[in-house]
Amino acid sequence: MNQHRYADAVVHHDDAGGNEWRLARVEGGRGVLAGADHECDIHIDLPGYDPYAGPDWLPWTWFTSLENHREQAFAYWWDGTAWDRIDYPDAITNDGLDMLLPHLCTTERAAGQVLDFLDVSPATDAWEEGFPLVRRVLDLAETRSGTEGEWHEALDHVLAFAERQDSEHLDWEEDEFDPSAAMTVARATGLIKGFEAEVKPAGHGRPEGWVPRLG
């Protein structure tokens, strides 16, 4: 789906409507999710609001670049066992997370989102054909046990299916129905058996005087 990009150990979603999130792997089996939804970001202006009041290993250099690009409405971190964030004041009723990522909250919804992007309607023959093909790719990603051959085969099937769909979101002159780009991302993110994921270096303590909104 063309609203998602991967580069430098970061998955970036931007809907071109003022809503973004970024998911980054951090060394040590950890990760960080940060973003903002323009409908749920008023709390950014709360005095003293600091979504980065977390552990020392957070990637402070990357946070600096994020804040120089745009003020972030939330930051969550994965320590290898559980997600966490700061305790919110009562004034924050919605930080925007549930606006930005509902399509990825379950494997079924993620597969459905792909088919919706292809303008495939539920309860149709195309849906019955396409859903298990997309689900196969997502299962390989979740288990991270698939070989390059299994990944290539699964992606080939999905892209061949996508190429047959009449979707307004596809441009047959520009879009490439070739698994090579997806294979490159799967290797870089450690989803293919035998490949290690790219990671951002862990921090070593919050830099003295570091505060959000540096831009």
User: Does 48 or 174 have the greater pLDDT score?
Assistant: 48
pLDDT at 188 exceeding the cut of 90? yes
Residue 197 lies in a domain: no
Residue 202 lies in a domain: no
Q: What is the dihedral of CA 113, 118, 124, 125, to 10 degrees?
A: -120
76-135 pLDDT, tens digit per residue, is: 999 999 999 999 999 899 999 988 988 888 999 999 999 998 999 999 999 999 999 999
Clarify whether residues 20 and 95 are in a common domain: yes
Give the bridge partners for 37, in sequence order. 19
Q: What is the structure's pLDDT at 215?
A: 41
Neighbours of 30 (CB within 10 A): 20
Q: Which residue shows structure tokens 């946070």?
A: 63
When divided into structural domains, the chain yields a total of: 2
Residue 25 lies in a domain: yes
Residue 211 lies in a domain: no
Clarify whether residues 94 and 116 are in a common domain: no
Identify the domain boundary among 101, 117, 132: 101
69-73, 75-79, 198-202: the lowest-pLDDT one: 69-73
Residue 178 lies in a domain: yes
Domain, as residue range, for 91 = 4-101
